[in-house]
């Protein structure tokens, strides 16, 4: 069951993967998404943009548009991982930094992809998402940034 708080595009993508009960069909969807991912300039494939904790080489960049929404770009040397990256980029496209930061990773489980992925790839999927959230947080206006951090630590005392 999909979490109702998901942004519309991410919800649509999760549902699409839920409908594909066959692991082979899920792989085909990931490979299709990988092909649709825009080219990432080689100059952006630098250590600061590398996703840590992935077996594959994965890079992600983020920038804000004129109205303060986040746009990601990325690349991977492995097509399935590139598809996972494309899934996350497409699903979070045009959200505000705080909308991205507040997204819980539960939707990853909802896709059903874990059953089709090796443990290291499934872990990589989470690491890509975590990196995207960190990059979004860095783009958040200072007051939003403080609020997001403050709400995370509210129950920690």
CATH number of the domain at 115, please. Answer: 3.90.1010.10
Poorest-confidence range of 32-46, 91-105, 139-153? 139-153
As for how many domains the chain has, the answer is 1
Q: Which residues contact 32 (CB under 8 A, 6 or more apart)?
A: 83
CA distance 61 to 50: 9
- Domain residues for 98? 8-34+52-145
Res 156: pLDDT: 35
Name the average pLDDT for the chain. 87
Residue 54 has pLDDT above 50, yes or no: yes
Res 115: pLDDT: 78
Known active-site residue 2: no
Q: In whole angstroms, how far apart are CA 30 and each of 10, 34, 90, 115, 137? A: 14, 6, 12, 14, 27
Give domain status of residue 150, yes or no: no
> Buried b vs exposed e over 104-113: b needs ≥16 C-beta within 10 Å?
eeebbebbbb
Backbone phi, then psi, for 150, in 5-degree steps?
A: -65, -40
Higher pLDDT, 85 or 55: 85
pTM: 0.87
Q: Which one from 54, 58, 60, 139 is the annotated catalytic residue?
A: 54
Res 121: pLDDT: 87
């Amino acid at each position: 069951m999909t979490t109702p708080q998901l942004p519309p595009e991410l919800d649509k993508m999760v549902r699409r993967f839920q409908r594909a009960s066959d692991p082979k069909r899920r792989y085909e969807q990931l490979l299709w998404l990988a092909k649709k991912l825009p080219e990432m300039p080689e100059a952006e494939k630098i250590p600061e943009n590398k996703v840590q904790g992935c077996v594959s080489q994965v890079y992600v960049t983020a920038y804000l548009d004129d109205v303060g929404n986040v746009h990601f770009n990325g690349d991977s040397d492995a097509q399935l991982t590139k598809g996972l990256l494309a899934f996350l980029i497409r699903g979070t496209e045009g959200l505000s930094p705080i909308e991205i930061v507040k997204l819980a990773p539960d939707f990853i489980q909802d896709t059903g992809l874990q059953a089709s992925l090796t443990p290291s790839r499934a872990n990589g999927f989470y690491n890509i998402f975590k990196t995207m959230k960190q990059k979004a947080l860095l783009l958040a206006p200072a007051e939003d940034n403080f609020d997001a951090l403050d709400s995370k630590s509210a129950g920690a005392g």
